A and B are shown apart, each in its own frame.
Chain A
Amino acid sequence: MPLDVTVHSYALPDGVDPPALLSFLGDRFDVKAAPTAPVTFVVVDTADRRVRDAGLDLALEGGRDTALVLRAHPGGPPVTAPARRAKRWTARDLPAPLRDHLGPVIEMRALLPLARVRADVRTLNVRNADLKTVVRLRVATHAALDAEGTPAPLTSRVEVSGVLGYPKPLARVVEALTGEAGLVTAPGSMADEAIAASGGDPRGIRSKPDVVLEPGTRTDEAALAVLRELAGFVEDNVPGTLADLDSEFLHDLRVAVRRSRSVLRELKGAFAPEPLQVQRDALKWIQSITGDTRDLDVQLLDWGDLLAGVPAERHAALLPVRNLLVRHRAAALRKLKAELRGRAFREAWAGYRTFLAGDQGPARERPDAKRPIGDVAGERIRKVYKKMVTMGSAIDGASPAEDLHELRKRGKELRYLLEFFGGLWPSSVVKPMVKTLKALQDVLGTHQDREVQADHLRALADELAGVVGGPEALLVLGVLVDRLGAAQQAARDDFAARFAAFAAPGQRKVVASTFRGPSG
């Protein structure tokens, strides 16, 4: 965006307060200063910081009449829309101009109030000989407020914005601030700092482990490092799942559990068999209690796409189907909440955490424990890949759907192995391999998901027959199920080409020769 103006953000050093800065600038430039304005606002973003990552800045501002204020372009006008205080806002809740900007960014995630900030803001305009503003400065002292309103001071900042067509005055102001006054670029953003001061993680809730491993690291240590990170992700997502803030908390919780199960399975030789089995069973149970709600979330998230294949005039007839899904989802969520708040979950999770923190027992029961992770993970990658090649090669047009489903499950194992331990090998090999694997998994995923969705919809038939509008809905439901069947078939048609790329002879050789550990 070449028309965006340049914006610099500097931290005010200790001992330099806004009046001192104004005095410094006033000695050198024609500065018009507005009175200091105290403002309180709330930093708003999704739990995984999608707004920040898209280069946007969103806040809930105002006292009695609040508004969501989106700053999308440096130095440009903010997009503002009235909005009430809330524990969350979904894209659907947003007024049109904000929805247009934020809808594609946040997708199914909810916007959440992440930190409350009080600021004293002073706007300073540097003017030229015609008394025209040629540089804008915004000097602010900030404090993050906790639930009781107790302030935690944040870095005081000065934001310097150029005005289009006046680069020289901006350069002079920047030179004065950084040269003479010795100001340095502010570390991170005010929003990040406020979130950290409020006890949050400015990076947002994460879903991918970031563990640095060496090929020679002991396998049990490597496995535990990854598992502890994943356990943290599970815990991070429990409150959002219980509060039902958006569907992705539960999704990320399930992914973290699935990845943990995969590590325990693939690196089972690093653990003593008995306690390992206990924990594998515990995680399997957690996965099972979260499944129904997630399946229904998927149905509802895909609802718009499903409708796309049905003539618009028939959409209304499907309303009873959607209402049933919503009702089932509410019931599944109630059950899930009770499980997550219950003793069984608490004890299972505490047991798992103790397992991750404790001594894993004598090494004689754990043949892979001391072996280098490079050897063990490499071995697993080669074996899972080879198994997938064998399984996939046996699939033809007459193979049952289960065969594709089993292949997909293996694919997930391989994907996780590459995600967690792929960093031990050259990215020139790992990246293309992940790419072909992902392409294959996409079609296998579509194939499986469409089947599950069609089964779910079919299962609603009896119940639908008894509700108002049910018979009409049943007729259109047939169209939906057919459509899902067609999508499943299309995925199956794509399978051969995707699998051929994944299992190409060249790729097989590369896998066999690359994924070796320090012991060769």
Chain B
Amino acid sequence: MKVLATYNIKGGVGKTSAAVNVAALAAADGLRTLLWDLDPQGAASFLFRVRPKVRGGGRKLVRGRSDVTDVLRGTDVEGLDLLPADFSYRHMDLVLDESGKPTRRLRKVLAPLEDHYDLAVLDCPPSISLVSEAVFDAADALLVPLIPSTLTLRTFAQLSDFVDAEVDHRPDIIAFFSMVDWRKRLHREVVETLPDGRTDVVRSVIPAATEVELMGVARAPVVTQAPRSRAARAYAELWAEVRERLRV
């Protein structure tokens, strides 16, 4: 099982949208896919119409005191299962801190699922914390949405430095531009210049699109709700690049 985590220090950059759409595309490709909603806001769980609650509590799950297979939920996308969010995840730093080897905990939660899934996608809350370190430890790759701005390069460099410095097991970084508005000159310039020479930024670009915003109304990934839309096609391109890099 490969583990892919959508991650950014900042919120509102399209992590959840990327996670649910990439996970849905992976399942459509025949991969047995798991999406773990680690964000206490539970947006991914909401999108899949699953109650953001872990039976027995998120704390017990993370501490390894409940069976992860008991709390999984199938989604409306065949082949895609969800490990729902739990409001207790807002204290996950504390829970991890109380555990032995806190940065290994998330990997341990996933361990029993190793043979049952081909891909696990972790939708992570925005932060730099112990949770981030545990995510880095569990993940084979980080999928990092970047909104084009003058600070993009700096933020991205900070993230890379942090990953390099904090973890022994360094996941690959797969960054992509998200919420791109082609009408804005700045967006165009940043998108056209930044990837130059960088292997950690893929070519696919996710546009700022109404269909993506409407996912909250339709409560379904854009790739299943509006598969021919520009945004859905962009996610398909992104998934193809991610799949190749993950070799899954």
Contacts and interface: CB of A to CB of B under 8 A. Distances in A.
B74 A77 contact: no
Given A3-B116, A132-B50, A164 B30 contact: no
Interface string A64-94: 0000000001011111100000000000000
A166 interface: yes
B74 A166 contact: yes
Interface string B47-77: 0111100000000000000000101111010
A77 B78 contact: yes
A463 interface: no
Contacts of A125: 76
Interface residues of B, number: 24
Contact of B73 (A2, A75, A79, A166): A166
A108 B72 CA distance: 39
B72 A77 contact: no
Contacts of B29: 77, 80
B contact face: mostly helix, strand, loop, or mixed: loop
Contacts of B79: 76-77
A97 B243 CA distance: 13
A251 B227 CA distance: 50
B234 interface: no
Interface string A1-34: 1110100000000000000000000000000000
B146 interface: no
B246 interface: no
B50 A73 contact: no
Contact of A1 (B48, B71, B80, B116): B116
A121 to B, nearest CB: 14
B13 interface: no
B31 interface: yes
Nearest to A128: B49
B49 A165 contact: no
B105 interface: no
A133 interface: yes
A73 B30 CA distance: 11
A76 to B, nearest CB: 6
Nearest to A78: B30
A405 B33 CA distance: 54
A125 B74 CA distance: 13
Interface in A104-151: 125, 130-133, 136
A77 B50 contact: no
B19 to A, nearest CB: 18
A163 interface: yes
B31 A77 contact: yes
A132 B76 contact: yes
B32 A164 contact: no
A5 B72 CA distance: 12
B72 A97 contact: no
B37 interface: no
Nearest to B67: A2
A330 to B, nearest CB: 37
B32 A165 contact: no
Contacts of A164: 72-74, 81
A131 B48 CA distance: 10
A80 B28 CA distance: 9
Given A77-B79, A131-B49, A5 B74 contact: yes
Contacts of A136: 78
A259 to B, nearest CB: 41
A82 to B, nearest CB: 12
Contacts of A80: 29-30
A79 B78 CA distance: 12
B27 interface: yes
Contacts of B81: 3, 164
Interface in A354-378: none
A286 to B, nearest CB: 45
Q: Which of B74, B113, B219: most chain A Cβ within 10 A?
A: B74
Question: What 8 pairs between A and B have smallest CB-CB spacing?
Answer: A77-B79, A132-B49, A163-B74, A164-B74, A165-B73, A79-B30, A3-B116, A130-B49
Interface of A: 1-3, 5, 73, 75-80, 97, 125, 130-133, 136, 162-166
12 contacts: A1-B116, A2-B116, A5-B74, A73-B32, A77-B31, A125-B76, A130-B51, A162-B74, A164-B72, A164-B81, A165-B72, A166-B73
Given A133-B76, A164-B81, A165-B73, 9 more contacts: A2-B69, A3-B113, A76-B32, A77-B78, A77-B80, A79-B30, A130-B49, A131-B49, A163-B74
